[in-house]
Structure 1
């Protein structure tokens, strides 16, 4: 299977500071694969995800990011999104004055360069909202304004299903959700895998969202470095025993 994402010796710092956060990350994700990125707080997991999306808060100082055969190391966020990468965030922002429907429709049109007929778009949107157990009225609400944590995460998974990216980076998508919300979000991710077949890079502390997914590869990030890698069994080991063993092994290298 060919790699959809290749991260080569990536080094990253805050754009306004000299302190390096990521110290030479190497990571390959095959097309359609599910990869999990785990690690303690402050390890650099969200920084890696944001850097791959071209977040201007971070500056790549060395290394390379290749996506679908293209060098996107220093591309802007909008160009990276159009290339086919999607990212959900720990704390989705509110967008007053822009409805969920208009936000998603505009995003799709910007990605494809094609005009969407309103009737066809709304039919597809409502069908997808049903998968996520979202009331159709949410389509006309301003994006994330007054939404609960679970509703915000559902809105992001709705965007994922509608945009159909080649790679989805999910940053703590299960954080703070109750059991029912986790179940619904997981169903949306399963639907993405089934209907789109895209790759997933899931950044998480917990493992609830992984229970229904076939994980191909697990990576543990600590102090800005990937210190261990393995298969799905590593997730179960961490869930049961924590990170301590891997942190010690990483320190001994």
Structure 2
């Protein structure tokens, strides 16, 4: 069983006017077998939390801690975080011209596991992951994210999730730009991952539509760099009906 613990996390970014604090003391514990959804308006700090956990150099940790199974995540390099069991699905996956999906996936799997997967079984695993993500197996010969539609990029990340098999999946607006068919495929992939009691999911989203397919155990409302409210899945329904206005007004 794994545990991701975030305690009083404070994060700043450099702006033209100097450092600006984005996260202002976030505390959150995610245990194996749980799906946590973070919702909130634009600019509330949701993506900052995701990228700070993953180790993006843009974000300056000014206070607090992040641990995974008792290990200090913030002292780890990005690759060490991946090997420890963290996975980030980005809101805007980047293109990597000249690198095929097949080579990217095998290199990533080798880096995470510390040894190269056996080629014969690996090809079968990749093809199966592609099919489950609603992608043709020939997709693996294309360059990473180059010319991909929004849906293809997000389905590719679900294939990565399947193959890399992390402990904790941090999914930053993985529903962004998806039509209803792609949304269902992506949601099915997340649900397959979350069915394993040894896995945990931190799902960041603006909208409740993905939560119709992925049932969260906990919902956290992010406003102005803090958690403004917490509850079960019913809180998402409340947000759908009432919006974030009362939380935004209270934070002013």
> Under TM normalisation by the shorter chain, which class is it?
over 0.9
Contact 2:34–2:194 at 8 Å: present in 1 too? Answer: no
Offset from partner CA, 1:33-52 (integer Å, 9 cap, x none): 10010110000110011001
How far residue 155 of structure 1 moved from its aligned partner, in angstroms, is 0.5
How far residue 5 of structure 1 moved from its aligned partner, in angstroms, is 0.8
How far residue 75 of structure 1 moved from its aligned partner, in angstroms, is 2.0
How far residue 225 of structure 1 moved from its aligned partner, in angstroms, is 1.0
How far residue 245 of structure 1 moved from its aligned partner, in angstroms, is 2.7
2:172 alignment counterpart: 171
Is it true that 1:138 corresponds to 2:134 in the alignment?
Answer: no
How far residue 179 of structure 1 moved from its aligned partner, in angstroms, is 0.7
1:10 alignment counterpart: 9
Is it true that 1:240 corresponds to 2:251 in the alignment?
Answer: no
Q: What is the CA–CA distance in structure 1 between the aligned matches of 2:198 and 2:212, rounded to whole Å?
A: 18
Contact 2:36–2:202 at 8 Å: present in 1 too? Answer: yes
2:194 alignment counterpart: 193
Secondary structure of residue in 2 paired with 1:96: strand
- What TM-score comes out, normalization by structure 1 length? 0.94
Offset from partner CA, 1:11-59 (integer Å, 9 cap, x none): 1111574211111111111112100101100001100110011110111
Contact 1:8–1:64 at 8 Å: present in 2 too? Answer: yes
Secondary structure of residue in 1 paired with 2:153: helix
159-168 vs 194-203, which moves further: 194-203
Q: How many correspondences in the alignment? A: 250
Secondary structure of residue in 1 paired with 2:6: strand
- Residues 1:225 and 1:150: Cα distance change in structure 2 (over 3 Å): same
Q: What is the CA–CA distance in structure 2 between the aligned matches of 1:59 and 1:150, rounded to whole Å?
A: 31
1:41 alignment counterpart: 42
Is it true that 1:67 corresponds to 2:68 in the alignment?
Answer: yes
8-17 vs 29-38, which moves further: 8-17
Contact 1:54–1:74 at 8 Å: present in 2 too? Answer: no
Q: How does 1:1-253 map to 2 (within 5 A)?
A: 4-14=3-13, 17-194=18-195, 197-250=198-251
Offset from partner CA, 1:85-116 (integer Å, 9 cap, x none): 10111110001111111111111111111121
Secondary structure of residue in 2 paired with 1:19: strand
CA RMSD of aligned residues (A): 1.5
72-81 vs 234-243, which moves further: 72-81
Deviating above 4 A after TM superposition, structure 1's stretches of 4 or more consecutive aligned residues are none
How far residue 4 of structure 1 moved from its aligned partner, in angstroms, is 1.0
Contact 1:164–1:196 at 8 Å: present in 2 too? Answer: no
How far residue 197 of structure 1 moved from its aligned partner, in angstroms, is 4.5
Offset from partner CA, 1:137-192 (integer Å, 9 cap, x none): 10111110110000000011110111111100111110111111101111111121
- Residues 1:125 and 1:3: Cα distance change in structure 2 (over 3 Å): closer
Q: What is the CA–CA distance in structure 2 between the aligned matches of 1:149 and 1:45, rounded to whole Å?
A: 20
Structure 2's unaligned 5+ residue stretches are: none
